[in-house]
Structures are given as C-alpha cells and as structure tokens.
Amino acid sequence: MDANNLVPMGYVKQATGIKGWIKIKADTEFPDGLMDYPRWFLGRNGNWQEYSPESGKIAPDGFQAKLVGIDDRNAAEMLKGCTIAVLREDFAETDTDEYYWTDLVGLTVKNPQGEILGTVSGLQESGAHDILVVQGAEKQILIPFVAQFILSVSLTEQMILADWQADY
C-alpha cells in the first residue's frame, strides 16, 4: 500500500454504543458513500491501518459504521480522530465529463485568452452546482463548475480551461 495513493474521505468523530460502532464525518456525496469501498485505511500522522467495513447505517446524528475486528467501545474509542482514506485505485470509473473532486484539486485553471487564473485548491457544494475554489496570485476565485463556464478539463495536461476572468 502506497500512502501517496490514499485519498482522505472523512474521519472518525467518536465511538458510539458498546459493540465497537463509530460515528463518522464522511466527505462523500452521500453520508453512507464510504460503504462502497471494501477496504478503509484509518490513520493519523502518516501511520495507516487497513480495516474492512462490516456494517453501516445512517442514524439521526449522522453516519455510523462497524469495522471488522473492532468489537467493543474501547477499541472504537482508540479510532477517534483518525482520518479515513481509501485507495485511489478503488474508485469506480467515471463517465465522460465526470470527475472526482480529488482529481481536480491541484489543476491549473486558465481562460481562453491564456491568462492563468490560479490553481484549484478545493471545491464547494452549493444548492445548484459545485463551485471550483481557485487560488490566484492575489485572491481566491470562485467559478461555478458548469458547462457554461468550464470549457474543458484535461487530467493528463493538469489543466482546466474556464470562460472566466481574474477580475470577476
């Protein structure tokens, strides 16, 4: 397992109950999206341990999961604060013009005039669409991630072409 291939997907908030369940803050589209992955890597400070999810459920206070081998509250409490990551190669293939957020972070954004607007530092969800957060030389730029403004994305060239200006 190469730690460089790990993609953080959330973290363990706390233990819940007495049978080893944990509460999770998942950075996935759906709260239980982590259950799509057969193996999780939990860790802190670069020390990772592989786990298999045994069961998961959405509860009134968020997503909860039970990991194979974590069978009591004490073991679950030891995981509090751990980052939950999955291997990039475990991601499902995307359709054309679909991208994982993690693949967009770090890409250079330029406009058709050739002006470099900055580098994608993150994405935000909004009610209507996702928003690229681009760190420019002088300020942060927010660009709606919709076809009207995003003309092309090239993961191989590490470039996004956006119909946008730095002074918007």
Res 113 pLDDT > 90: yes
Q: For the segment 80-91, what is each residue's pLDDT rounded down to a tens digit?
A: 999 999 999 898
Q: For the segment 6-16, what is each residue's pLDDT rounded down to a tens digit?
A: 999 999 999 99
Beta strands, E only, 35-145 = 40-44, 47-51, 53-59, 62-67, 83-87, 108-110, 116-125, 130-135, 140-144
Res 97 pLDDT > 90: no
CA distances from 63 to 31, 56, 163 (A): 6, 7, 38
Sign of CA dihedral 166, 135, 151, 111: positive
The single residue listed with the structure tokens 């054309």 is: 96
pLDDT of the residue at 1? 61
Q: Which domains does the chain have, with CATH numbers?
A: 3-90 (2.40.30.60), 101-162 (2.30.30.240)
Those residues with Cβ within 8 angstroms of residue 129's Cβ, 6 or more apart along the chain or in another chain: 144, 145, 146
Question: CA dihedral in degrees (9, 39, 60, 75; nearest 10)?
Answer: -110
pLDDT band for position 137 (cuts 50, 70, 90): confident
Q: Enter the tokens of residue 9.
A: 């997907």
Average pLDDT, integer, range 95-103: 87
pLDDT of the residue at 125? 84
